[in-house]
């Protein structure tokens, strides 16, 4: 038997297919097709969790995605422990294990429930008011304790082992919601032949047809009709039917995010099955058929386990075959709860009484309930529920006061009316309008190509809903380009109709009371809290929301928003539309990070770029560092060497013999065309027209504001061809910058730009022996100093493959940069390496490269500059063409601030104690004895130990730096003040003799 409360003959599940599961370690049996909620209820379990703030015992309120209370932790294995799963959404599988949350030591005895007794302390705004003092205690004491005591489930502590998938889809008509309205709209659209996607969050389509026993369409009972229609739609080539798929976000231009739960309902998901699939759908037209959500009644202790929505109780009975109690009471303000009473009564459940707030309503459901012998009390209110871990009674009183009567019940089914689900409409930026007669917000002004149909549009009754939806579906298809339809509209033979209801607190929970009548179950917000927020000065509903946290829990106030709004409006003495509705934002229901991140994690988070020479460096035991997306060899430690020793050795070898360095990541752009030199003149500060082919020049690129944007050596290969190098990190933006000017400001120039970064591998060979290493491998290039002086470039062959051979140096030594097609990069490297071995050459990494260039005072854009440094600040005024009429940045350079005295200038720093290495980023002051905060006059931009100089060296930006040569400045650090001397930027070979051989 799958639970004592399973009613034989009721529901649509097959009793034969049982599934075992556990809750808090206790074993139970359910049926395949159950949700965890229906299976627990079948076993008489209502108590499933403790509330967020007061730790009050909580049960199952709903049968769907709106569930605020029944949040559980689903444990599949050590790594798969999903918290805050709604038991009403989680489908049962054999072996499912669930635990309750937010209780200690057990669900029925929870120490935290002391918060409930102390609740006068925890009123609205409690945290804001209480934990203000002492200020420092918030971070160290209050916040950790509050987080421990509050909170819901426990986050998994291992990496997510599941995989997720992601798809883009396009369709003509996207129908969101698979109840009667959605199905009718999808049928109408699909019959025209256009591409349709129909999605519903439930495992089975049908929406409220799952419980609405009085519905008949096309001669079939409503749910059977829905299944037949879905089978028809699924068989159509132009239709994609997505069950278990929630539309969580509606974005610009009919772009809708859906999450499909692919395998969370399976006992043993296959390895090829993702857990969830993210659908990013672009639709020409969207039909919103998201239905309506039933509201609870706001009365004292309305959160006791066993107190639930009437429609939910009906769903549990009519779909799952579960009676939510044996002796139920009904509390309502509209007709719909009568259906629950009638269906339960017919199934053999005792209905103790219906309590109806309305004075003398009439109608067929009321007659039917009376005919079944159910006691009906009009004009009365349930003023409180009895019981603690499970409701045991309801106390009834005439709504205007009078004698109380307590009726024993084991469940209370309530309905305050139905709230149209305008969430997605609102997310689409549509504006809702308040219907004063029916007291509900419905879609008003549309912002996108969508239409709302059925209950979410405020349409009452199945017949009107299907008519409206079918017409809207056909129109959506037409608007998306369809020709005439050839289908027939479904005919509604019988339906139920329920509308109206009430908003706000029920009698007995009014302004004169202090009872706990919950508005928002998940965040423990009562009617009293909302009134208090208004009394304390909150006027806007947005403020009331934030002060009380009403509607801010993970259920986003699906059941609570309208009640909260009505209570605030009443307290403010204003009509509801003047108080306004809070904004609905995505996601409609919680979405896992996994679904959004999908494959983009770990190695797939960001592309990794490796040079052609990477495998060689890896084999040599290089340690790599990330430079943007590139992996670069950082240093090449030999056995027993730490980084410091390796870098020292590499630096010394380059200056004494030679070093090989993989410079392939340098950005490279080829500037080609008759106007190439003119273009270079405009984009760089330097003059280019007179640079002879075969020569190179160090170029500086500015932004229009006069600040350094990038730099690099440029070789002129021919009068119409420049080989431009950029910084490693700057390559894409420099290309963008060049394209921008070429396309939009200088389109008259006949120039083509090509990124050649990845076409050429670059091997820097630097040091006194560099020419000896290269020369034997080169054909067709005279490498003598006369023929190939410093800063020149030749094309020829090396190792038999084409090369662009630059003589240039970023070390201050005689140096070359050998460019070869990337495919030959490693082979040429290995040939040069073999040759280098004859001359004592070493491989060096980026760290040694940094030290060597700093010894020579060569700057690195982005390290020694920060976007506020001019060429003059960097000591590079010589590179700005004084006779040029125009270049990008020419006007920026003469801005008053850029020519003012006292600007920060790049200088060298030598610590008084040569062994002390400054910290990069450290601040510099004139007087270390001044009061804190001290006046900072600059900061260290580069700092290294230089084995070649036998001391530490540093570069720094210092206000008026070049006028301070020889001055002593100070760098205050946590362990004391470091004395430094201001020097020039060149620390090694000041005359530069080594460059030329």
Partner 1 sequence: MLLIRCPYCEEERPELEFRNAGEAHIARSANMAGESDHDFEKFFFIRSNPKGIIYERWRHVHGCARFFNAVRDTVTDKFVMTYKAGEPKPSKLPGVTK
Which of 185, 255, 170, 202 lies closest to 427 in space, CA to CA?
A: 255
CB atoms within 10 A of CB 884: 16
Least distance in Å: CB of 366 to partner 1? 48
131/255 with CB nearer partner 1: 255
732/984 with CB nearer partner 1: 732
Least distance in Å: CB of 864 to partner 1? 24
736/930 with CB nearer partner 1: 736
Least distance in Å: CB of 718 to partner 1? 25
DSSP line for 299-344: -BTTTSTTEEEHHHHHHHHHTT-B-S-SEEEEEESSTHHHHHHHHH
55/903 with CB nearer partner 1: 903
Q: Where are the alpha helices (DSSP H) in 155-207?
A: 180-190
347/890 with CB nearer partner 1: 890
**599 to 265, 277, 592, 647, 960: CA distances (angstroms):** 22, 11, 13, 38, 51
736/759 with CB nearer partner 1: 736
Least distance in Å: CB of 233 to partner 1? 27
- Residue 678 CA to residue 674 CA, distance in Å, equals 9
Cβ contacts of 474 within 8 Å, gap of 6 or more: 188, 189, 191, 192, 485
Cβ(762)–Cβ(613) under 8 Å?
no
- Residue 867 CA to residue 271 CA, distance in Å, equals 50
- Residue 908 CA to residue 981 CA, distance in Å, equals 8
Least distance in Å: CB of 275 to partner 1? 24
- Residue 148 CA to residue 668 CA, distance in Å, equals 54
Least distance in Å: CB of 351 to partner 1? 52
Helices (H) and strands (E) in the chain, counts: 25, 51
485/880 with CB nearer partner 1: 880
Which of 503, 52, 460, 89 lies closest to 296 in space, CA to CA?
A: 503
109/752 with CB nearer partner 1: 752
CB atoms within 10 A of CB 962: 16
838/891 with CB nearer partner 1: 891
Cβ(649)–Cβ(641) under 8 Å?
yes
326/884 with CB nearer partner 1: 884
Burial of 243 (0-12, 13-18, 19+ CB in 10 A): middle
447/494 with CB nearer partner 1: 447
DSSP 8-class letter at 697: E
Which of 705, 748, 753 lies closest to 726 in space, CA to CA?
A: 753
DSSP line for 839-907: TT-EE--HHHHHHHHHHTT---TTTT--SS--TTTTT-GGGS-TT-S--TTTTGGGSHHHHSTT-EEEE
**Nearest-10 crossing angle of helices 180-190, 222-234:** 30
449/866 with CB nearer partner 1: 449
745/782 with CB nearer partner 1: 745
Least distance in Å: CB of 282 to partner 1? 7
Least distance in Å: CB of 428 to partner 1? 11
Cβ(352)–Cβ(374) under 8 Å?
no
**133 to 127, 128, 137, 142: CA distances (angstroms):** 11, 11, 7, 10
508/889 with CB nearer partner 1: 889
736/968 with CB nearer partner 1: 736
Cβ(871)–Cβ(684) under 8 Å?
no
Beta bridge partners of 394: 385, 407
Least distance in Å: CB of 897 to partner 1? 10
Q: How far apart are the first and last CA of the chain?
A: 94
Least distance in Å: CB of 740 to partner 1? 6
Least distance in Å: CB of 886 to partner 1? 5
726/941 with CB nearer partner 1: 726
702/848 with CB nearer partner 1: 702
Cβ contacts of 216 within 8 Å, gap of 6 or more: 222, 225, 492, 493, 494, 495
Q: What is the dihedral of CA 845, 850, 853, 857, to 10 degrees?
A: 180
Least distance in Å: CB of 431 to partner 1? 12
Least distance in Å: CB of 189 to partner 1? 21
Least distance in Å: CB of 434 to partner 1? 23
Least distance in Å: CB of 891 to partner 1? 5
Least distance in Å: CB of 683 to partner 1? 13
Least distance in Å: CB of 579 to partner 1? 24
Interface residues toward partner 1, by CB under 8 A: 251-253, 255, 280, 282, 429, 447, 704-705, 736, 739-740, 743-745, 747, 885-886, 890-892, 894-896
Which of 533, 529, 511, 510 lies closest to 519 in space, CA to CA?
A: 529
CB atoms within 10 A of CB 657: 18
């Amino acid at each position: 038997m799958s639970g004592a409360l399973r009613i034989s003959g009721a529901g649509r599940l097959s009793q034969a297919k049982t599934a075992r599961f556990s809750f808090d370690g206790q074993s139970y049996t359910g049926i395949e097709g159950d949700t965890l909620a229906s299976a627990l209820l079948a076993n008489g379990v209502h108590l499933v969790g403790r509330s967020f703030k007061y730790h009050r015992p909580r049960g199952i309120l709903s049968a769907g995605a709106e569930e605020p209370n029944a949040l559980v932790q689903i444990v599949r294995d050590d790594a798969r422990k999903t918290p805050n799963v709604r038991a009403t959404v989680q489908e049962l599988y054999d072996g499912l294990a669930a635990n309750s949350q937010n209780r200690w030591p057990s669900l029925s005895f929870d120490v935290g429930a002391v918060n409930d007794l102390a609740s006068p302390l925890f009123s609205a705004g409690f945290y804001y008011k209480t934990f203000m003092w002492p200020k420092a205690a918030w971070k160290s004491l209050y916040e950790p304790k509050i987080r421990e005591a509050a909170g819901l489930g426990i986050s998994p502590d291992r990496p997510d082992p599941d995989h997720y998938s992601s798809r883009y889809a396009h369709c003509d008509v996207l129908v969101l919601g698979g109840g009667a309205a959605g199905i009718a709209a999808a049928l109408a659209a699909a019959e025209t032949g256009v591409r349709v996607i129909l999605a519903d969050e439930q495992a089975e389509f049908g929406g409220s047809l799952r419980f609405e026993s009085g519905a008949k369409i096309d001669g079939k009972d409503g749910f059977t009709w829905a299944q037949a229609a879905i089978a028809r739609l699924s068989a159509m080539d132009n239709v994609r039917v997505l069950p278990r798929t929630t539309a969580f976000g509606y974005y610009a231009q009919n772009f809708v995010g859906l999450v499909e739960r692919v395998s969370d309902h399976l006992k043993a998901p296959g390895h090829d099955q993702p857990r969830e699939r993210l659908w990013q759908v672009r639709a020409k037209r969207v039909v919103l058929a998201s239905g309506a959500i039933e509201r609870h009644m706001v009365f004292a202790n309305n959160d006791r386990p066993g107190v639930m929505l009437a429609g939910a109780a009906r769903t549990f009975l009519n779909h799952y075959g579960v009676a939510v109690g044996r002796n139920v009471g009904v509390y309502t303000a509209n007709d719909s709860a009568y259906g629950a009473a009638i269906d339960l009564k017919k199934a053999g459940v005792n209905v103790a009484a219906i309590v109806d707030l309305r004075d003398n309503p009439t109608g067929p459901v009321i007659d039917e309930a009376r005919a079944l012998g159910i006691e009906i009390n009009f004009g009365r209110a349930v003023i409180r529920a009895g019981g603690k871990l499970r409701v045991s009674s309801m106390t009834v009183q005439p709504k205007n006061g009078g004698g109380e009567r307590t009726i024993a019940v084991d469940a209370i089914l309530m309905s305050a009316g139905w709230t149209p689900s305008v969430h997605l409409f609102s997310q689409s930026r549509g504006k809702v309008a308040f219907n004063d007669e029916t007291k509900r917000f419905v879609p008003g002004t549309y912002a996108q190509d969508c239409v709302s149909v059925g209950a979410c549009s405020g349409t009452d009754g199945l017949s009107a809903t299907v008519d409206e939806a079918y017409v809207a579906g056909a129109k959506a298809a037409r608007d998306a380009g369809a020709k005439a339809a050839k289908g027939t509209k479904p005919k509604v033979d019988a339906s139920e109709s329920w509308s109206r209801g009430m908003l706000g607190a029920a009698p007995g929970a009014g302004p004169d009371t202090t009872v706990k009548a919950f508005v928002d179950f998940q965040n423990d917000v009562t009617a009293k809290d909302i009134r208090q927020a208004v009394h304390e000065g909150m006027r806007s509903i947005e403020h009331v929301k934030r002060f009380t946290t009403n509607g801010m829990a993970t259920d986003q106030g699906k059941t609570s928003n309208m009640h909260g709004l009505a209570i605030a409006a009443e307290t403010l003495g204003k009509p509801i539309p003047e108080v306004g509705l809070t904004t609905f934002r995505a996601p409609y229901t919680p979405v896992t990070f996994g679904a959004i991140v999908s494959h983009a994690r770990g190695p797939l988070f960001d592309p990794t770029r490796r040079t052609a020479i990477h495998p060689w460096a890896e084999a040599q035991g290089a340690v790599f560092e990330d430079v943007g997306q590139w992996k670069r060899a950082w240093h090449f430690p030999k056995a027993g060497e730490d980084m410091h020793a390796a870098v020292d050795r590499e630096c010394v070898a380059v200056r004494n013999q030679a070093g090989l360095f993989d410079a392939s990541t340098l950005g490279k752009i080829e500037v080609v065309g008759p106007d190439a030199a003119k273009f270079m003149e405009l984009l760089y500060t330097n003059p280019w027209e007179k640079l002879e082919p075969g020569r190179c020049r160090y170029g500086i690129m500015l932004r229009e504001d006069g600040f350094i944007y990038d730099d690099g050596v440029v070789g002129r290969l021919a009068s119409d061809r420049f080989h431009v190098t950029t910084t490693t990190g700057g390559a894409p933006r420099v290309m963008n910058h060049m394209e921008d000017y070429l396309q939009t400001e200088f389109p008259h120039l006949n120039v083509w730009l090509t990124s050649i970064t990845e076409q050429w591998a670059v091997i820097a060979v630097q040091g006194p022996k560099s020419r000896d290493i290269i020369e034997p491998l080169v054909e067709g290039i005279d490498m003598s100093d006369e023929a190939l002086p410093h800063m020149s470039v030749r094309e020829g062959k090396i190792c038999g493959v084409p090369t662009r051979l630059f003589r240039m140096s970023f070390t201050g030594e005689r140096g070359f940069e050998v460019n070869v097609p990337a495919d030959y990069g490693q082979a040429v490297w290995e040939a040069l390496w073999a040759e280098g071995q004859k001359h004592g050459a070493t491989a060096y990494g980026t760290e040694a490269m940094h030290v060597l260039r700093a010894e020579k005072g060569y700057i690195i854009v982005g390290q020694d500059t920060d976007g506020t440094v001019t060429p003059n600040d960097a000591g590079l005024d010589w590179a700005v063409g004084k006779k040029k009429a125009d270049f990008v940045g020419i006007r920026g350079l003469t801005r008053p601030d850029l020519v003012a005295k006292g600007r920060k200038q790049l200088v060298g720093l030598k610590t008084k104690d040569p062994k002390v290495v400054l910290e990069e980023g450290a601040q510099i002051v004139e007087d270390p004895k001044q009061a804190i905060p001290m006046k900072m006059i600059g900061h260290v931009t580069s700092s290294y130990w230089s084995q070649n100089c036998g001391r530490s060296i540093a570069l720094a930006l210092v206000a008026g730096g070049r006028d301070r040569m020889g001055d002593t400045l100070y760098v205050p650090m946590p362990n004391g003040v470091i004395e430094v001397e201001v020097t020039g930027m060149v620390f090694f070979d000041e005359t530069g003799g080594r460059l030329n051989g």
